[in-house]
Amino acid sequence: MKIRDLPEDELVVGSFACAGCGGILAVRLALKILGPETVIVTTPSCLLGVTTFYPQLAFKVPCVNVTFPSTAAAVSGVVAGLKRRGKEHITVLGIAGDGGTVDIGLQALSGAIERGDNFIFLCYDNEAYMNTGVQRSGSTPLGAHTTTTPVGEMLKGEDRPKKDMLRIVAAHDIPYAATASIGYPQDYLRKIQKAKETKGPAYIQVLSPCPPGWGYPSDLTVHLARLAVQTGAWTLAEYEQGKLTVKKIDHPKPLREYLSLQARFAHLI
Amino acid sequence: MREYLNGNEAVAHAVRLARAEVVAAYPITPQSTIVEEIAAQIARGEMEAEYIRVESEHAALAACFGAAVSGSRVFTATSSQGLAYMFEMLHYVSGARIPMVMAVANRGLAAPWTIWADHQDSVSCRDTGWIQLYVETAQEALDTCLQAYKIAEDPRVLTPVMLCLDGYVLSHTEEILDIPSQEDVDRFLPPYRPQVLVDTRRPVVFGVGAGPDIYPSFKKAQQEAMERAKEVIKRVDEEFYAFFGRRYGGLVEEYRCHDAEVVLVTLGAITGTAREVVDSLRREGAKVGVLRLRALRPFPVEDLRESVKSARVVAVLDRNCSFGYEGVVCTEVKAALFGLKQPPSVIGFVAGLGGQDIRKENIEGIFRSCFNSDV
Ligand SMILES: Cc1ncc(C[n+]2csc(CCOP(=O)(O)OP(=O)(O)O)c2C)c(N)n1
Ligand code: SF4
Ligand SMILES: [Mg+2]
């Protein structure tokens, strides 16, 4: 899919996301591929907060909000309910932030993947709990300053490496899983397309920079999403038919280029 | 058709007869045999439904929520720890006005661990916005399950119903049951046709966020629906009677209360024993009666007041305790009678926790102590 071939129609309209929000861009792009025959199931996160506050509905598709741990469980319910009504052609898209995916939502996601339900799970990864004020999550990278991994005499930001969610998902023998970055939209959209065509569960985790959470000017979102890949801070990987492939970066840029643009890493530079 | 079945099997039959389309559940004693029986009915081809084998009770309710907003009649069941684990979803489902039915095979809560009956689990969920109906027999469990769908789905109610049956005492004890025919149930309970549901041609949001300006109006609507549910519960019980020849008093069931000086208020299965005690004390000339609350929420204030009109003392038997105060039903009864011109005195008894037997002698003791009390 070429970018210029994407449909003009917007399915995300009128959100209150910050300027430069990588997360809302990830969802907007995904819906361009998935189209109007989609149901979103989502959970407390920035996304819910900026799209579905009464009387707002910033999606032109139905949206089922559920409790924080339950995205994938509610997905299973929607899949079953649509099946009963003979509407299996509708794509059920679970969306959660990294916290809602790799931490509190992990059990439900594991259950739904293992049940083999037909759905796509999109994790927009901004590497912390943004909605509640930038606390660390299991997806926060090593060294990052967050409000619960501050920098001081005794602690220098996050002291544990980022959870490798792709391998966790792959361990379920999921039909399709991938990581992506909003800085590489063509790659991302191809993966969304693949997920759509997959029979059974598909998982995509897309790096979605967050200006206030990471501490950078909002015009750098796409730039950082690219730099993350170019410096090797984020990998573009795909898991298909039991095989994991990782996009090789031949001449990685120095990590410093990526880190030095973000306040969350200022203490490391 | 008459069959010899226990309370859990009774519920499973009711769920089949109600044509529930999606069932999501997680095992826990003493509930498990409900969902095992449902799984078996589906496996044998007697029931046509999706069975979602979820990984937790929290997920069970989330999956039911997802299926319900997609247009399905849903069912789940749990007990004790499982119900406690669902707490977040309980509020969510009622707040989103999802009309579903959940059976709770009542069991005490750990610690210490117990698998035996008391009402601590469901009573602790009193304020979650669910209608709570407590049954006395396996037959009533079956019948109330069918009624519960009709109550929950009534457009004036749209509130989930918790069907509470005492663990083991009802869940695992067999009785001869009358199982209604599918044709009759179909006439009593038409298919679920929600007014709003997941529809790509008409996108809506379920579980919306709400600011302080609008949030209270959602909550007020919930409260008003609960108030309306009182009439609906009574009416559905009468309709059920017209179809099947059985009824349970709507919100409360009186036994020899009309002239009773002492009325014992109960929930659930223990009522049968209490009735026997009432009969034997009546033979001695003691004017006693028993009032079973079928509904704990909505709380039957008006019916309760009416039923204890002649009473000097109202005793309340609680199989639960609000630690730091008293049995919850006792507090509720006191509050309901407050402000009457000549209110009876209310005496609370907490008994039967964690499956401890409540014997006839105990109930007799309660009545006698009430006569002896000079309040
Ligand atoms: C059970 C529960 N615990 C905590 C919260 C508070 N909470 C709401 S959103 C959120 C963080 C969301 O983080 P993430 O999933 O990464 O999404 P983001 O906001 O970063 O996009 C938290 C902790 C909640 N709603 N429910
Ligand atoms: S805080 Fe970050 S994730 Fe949340 S809306 Fe703003 S940019 Fe997006
Ligand atoms: Mg996040």
What residues are in contact with ligand 1 under a 6 Å CB criterion?
A: A 23, 44-47, 68, 96-100, 126, 128-132, 137
The stretch B87-99 carries a mean pLDDT of 98
The stretch B62-81 carries a mean pLDDT of 98
For chain A, the average pLDDT equals: 97
Cis peptide before A55 (omega within 30 of 0): yes
Query: pLDDT tens-digit profile of A90-132?
Result: 999 999 999 999 999 999 999 999 999 999 999 999 999 999 9
Q: Is A227 helix (H, G, I), strand (E, B) or coil?
A: helix
Domain range for A80 is 8-268
Is residue A25 lining ligand 2, measured as CB closer than 6 Å?
Answer: no
Nearest atom, ligand 2, residue A24 CA: 8
The stretch B123-133 carries a mean pLDDT of 98
For chain B, the average pLDDT equals: 97
Matching residue, tokens 């920098």: A151
**How close B197 comes to chain A (CA, Å)?**
9
Domains B2-244 and B252-372 agree in fold: yes
Tell which B residues from 110 to 169 touch A, by Cβ distance under 8 Å.
none
- The burial of A3, by beta-carbon neighbours within 10 Å (0-12 exposed, 13-18 middle, 19 or more buried), is given as exposed
pLDDT > 70: percent of chain B: 99
User: Which of A124, A120, A123 has the alpha carbon at shortest distance from A208?
Assistant: A124
Please provide the CATH number assigned to the domain covering B2-244: 3.40.50.970
Given a contact cutoff of 8 angstroms between Cβ atoms, the answer to whether B280 and B177 are in contact is no
pLDDT at site A2? 81
Domains in chain B: boundaries? 2-244, 252-372
A170 domain-assigned: yes
The residue of B86, B200, B219 whose CB has the most chain A CBs within 10 angstroms, and thus the best one to mutate to test that interface, is: B200
Q: A147 is written with which tokens? A: 């409000």
Q: A148 is written with which tokens? A: 């619960």
Q: Which H or E element spans position A76?
A: helix A71-84
A77: pLDDT strictly greater than 80: yes
pLDDT at site B30? 98
Given a contact cutoff of 8 angstroms between Cβ atoms, the answer to whether A1 and B163 are in contact is no
pLDDT at site B375? 54
Q: B93 is written with which tokens? A: 């489902």
The stretch B39-50 carries a mean pLDDT of 98
pTM of the model: 0.97
Of A64, A77, A90, the CB nearest to B24: A77
B203 Cβ under 8 Å from any chain A Cβ? yes
Is residue A23 lining ligand 2, measured as CB closer than 6 Å?
Answer: yes
Q: CB neighbours (10 Å) of residue A14?
A: 12
User: Which of B62, B56, B20 has the alpha carbon at shortest distance from B39?
Assistant: B20
Task: Give residue B59 CA to ligand 2 midpoint distance, Å.
Answer: 27
pLDDT at site B373? 76
> For every residue of B172-191, which 3-state class applies, written as one string?
CCEEEEECCCHHHHHHHCCC
The CATH number of whichever domain residue A204 belongs to comes to 3.40.50.970
Given a contact cutoff of 8 angstroms between Cβ atoms, the answer to whether B318 and B351 are in contact is yes
A36 domain-assigned: yes
When pLDDT is cut at 50, 70 and 90, the band that residue A170 belongs to is: very high
CA distances from B96 to B93, B163, B208, B222, B252 (A): 5, 19, 8, 9, 28
Is residue A211 lining ligand 2, measured as CB closer than 6 Å?
Answer: yes
Task: Give residue A213 CA to ligand 3 midpoint distance, Å.
Answer: 9
pLDDT at site B197? 96
pLDDT at site A3? 84
A2 domain-assigned: no
Query: pLDDT tens-digit profile of B286-332?
Result: 999 999 999 999 999 999 999 999 999 999 999 999 999 999 999 99
B204 and A62 within 8 Å at the Cβ level: the answer is yes
A3 domain-assigned: no
Is residue A27 lining ligand 2, measured as CB closer than 6 Å?
Answer: no
A218/B151 Cα distance (integer angstroms): 52
Torsions phi, psi of B297, nearest 5?
-140, 125
A44: pLDDT strictly greater than 80: yes
Query: pLDDT tens-digit profile of B151-168?
Result: 999 999 999 999 999 999
Q: How many CB pairs under 8 A join A and B?
A: 163
User: Which of A5, A37, A39 has the alpha carbon at shortest distance from A189?
Assistant: A5
Q: A67 is written with which tokens? A: 């409790």
Q: Buried b / exposed e across A73-89, counting CB within 10 Å, b at 16+?
A: bbbbbbbbbbbbeebee
Q: A115 is written with which tokens? A: 């049940």
User: Which of B367, B266, B348, B361 has the alpha carbon at shortest distance from B307?
Assistant: B266
User: Which of B125, B128, B83, B129 has the alpha carbon at shortest distance from B107?
Assistant: B83
For the domain made up of B252-372, the CATH class stated in words is: alpha beta
Number of domains present in the structure of chain A:
1
When pLDDT is cut at 50, 70 and 90, the band that residue B21 belongs to is: very high
Query: pLDDT tens-digit profile of B221-280?
Result: 999 999 999 999 999 999 999 999 999 999 999 999 999 999 999 999 999 999 999 999
Helical segments of chain B, H only: 7-17, 32-43, 57-69, 80-85, 87-95, 120-123, 138-153, 182-188, 215-244, 271-283, 301-307, 328-337, 360-372
B39/B37 Cα distance (integer angstroms): 5
The residue of A51, A67, A107, A118 whose CB has the most chain B CBs within 10 angstroms, and thus the best one to mutate to test that interface, is: A67
B374: pLDDT strictly greater than 90: no
